[in-house]
Amino acid sequence: MFTKKIFTLFVITFFFIISAASEINAQEIKNLKVDSKLKMVDTGVTINEGDIVEVIDVTGNVKLSGPANGKGGITFEGNKNTKKSTDYFEFANAAEHSLVMWIGNKAKHVQARKLIAIEANASGNLFFALNDGSKHYGDNSGEFNITYKIIRKKDLCSSRTNEKVNIKWVNKTGEPIRVHWFNFNCQEEATTKVVQPNEVFEGISYAGHIFRVRDDKTKSDLGLIVVEPAKSNFDIYR
């Protein structure tokens, strides 16, 4: 059993101070509108196996027919309590009314999480869509305005910078997770502590550092996090 204080001390110790700053790895920043009436939107951007894609901002207001509409429309994350939608929905492996993304093969779609990056396991064009009932896209209105970032496989290393970021990430996956760090030689290093459900991973990191979150039981990849000031405090979901 480890205490929050011990865990925080571990993380702070883990990230030593960098004396000389350097540029953050090359990144491609792109913008896209996702019309809620469409079952898919092709970005026209080719992603190669090993590249990572991260949704860094989503704005806009989407309204659906029926009770799911509500007064303020819906959020792109959909229902956080729903791990998987029913057969009624177009995309079975994402929460209802969430933003979905995939590379090449629609069957391998994943739920897009703001600030959680996805690593491509195949090459192809990048697609986005809203997860709605298969026959209910036509009466939707509004669109999501997405800003997303691409980091190519060759740049998947933590950058040496001196811009400190106080991170506080809460494990909302419902399962124990472990956070791995990509070191300056592009190698993945696991931290020694397991973060239990609703526990916090916190400490001092640096802008440009890259982490992978894994389910500690299955070792499955839950996504990548590229540290930026905007990522100092947020929840990690599946």
Q: What is the pLDDT of residue 22?
A: 33
Q: What is the pLDDT of residue 77?
A: 73
Residues 179 and 191: beta-carbon distance below 8 Å: yes
d(CA 232, CA 165): 6
The ranges assigned to domains in the chain are: 4-25+157-236, 28-153
Q: What is the pLDDT of residue 40?
A: 95
Q: What is the pLDDT of residue 83?
A: 54
d(CA 205, CA 182): 12
Residues 141 and 165: beta-carbon distance below 8 Å: no
Q: What is the pLDDT of residue 213?
A: 92
User: pLDDT tens, 10-53?
Assistant: 333 333 322 223 334 556 899 999 999 999 999 999 999 999 89
Judged by DSSP in three states, 4 sits in helix
In order of 15, 181, 236, the CA distances from 80 in angstroms are 31, 26, 11
Q: What is the pLDDT of residue 104?
A: 94
According to the CATH classification, is domain 4-25+157-236 in 2.60.40.780?
Answer: yes
Q: At 5, which helix (H) or strand (E)?
A: helix 4-14
Q: What is the pLDDT of residue 96?
A: 82
According to the CATH classification, is domain 28-153 in 3.30.70.890?
Answer: no
Q: What is the pLDDT of residue 191?
A: 81
Per-residue pLDDT of the chain (238 residues; tens, 9 = 90+): 333 333 333 333 333 322 223 334 556 899 999 999 999 999 999 999 999 898 988 888 788 865 554 444 567 776 655 556 667 889 988 888 888 999 999 999 988 887 788 889 899 999 999 988 888 898 888 888 999 989 898 888 898 899 999 999 999 889 999 999 999 998 889 887 899 999 999 999 999 899 989 999 998 888 888 888 876 888 887 7
What does DSSP say about strands 221-226 and 143-151: parallel, antiparallel, or unpaired?
Answer: unpaired
